[in-house]
Amino acid sequence: MKKLVIYLFPFILALSACSATDIPNQNQDPVKNNPATYRKDLKECQDDYPPQNSGTHIRQWIGCMNLKGWQ
C-alpha cells in the first residue's frame, strides 16, 4: 500500500498542475474571435512547439496564443 501511494502521489500532483493551466480561448480582436481562427492559431503554435515529455510545450502554446492576441 505504501508503494502505491509513493507512485501515485507524483502522478496526482502532475495532473493537478496540468489542469490549472488553460489555453486562452478569447481573442482581443472581435473579428478573430471565432472557432476557425482559434483552430488555425492553435495548430500553428502546436507546429512551432511540438509535444515534449516534460510538458513544457503547454506553456509554450499558451505563450504563443497570448502573442496572437488570445486571452
Percent of the chain with pLDDT over 90: 61
Here the cell at position 2 is 505504501
3-class SS of residue 27: strand
Q: What's the maximum distance between 2 C-alpha atoms anywhere in the chain?
A: 55
CB 24 within 8 A of CB 53: no
Cβ atoms < 10 Å from Cβ of 64 = 20
CB 26 within 8 A of CB 70: yes
pLDDT-based confidence at 22, cuts 50/70/90? confident
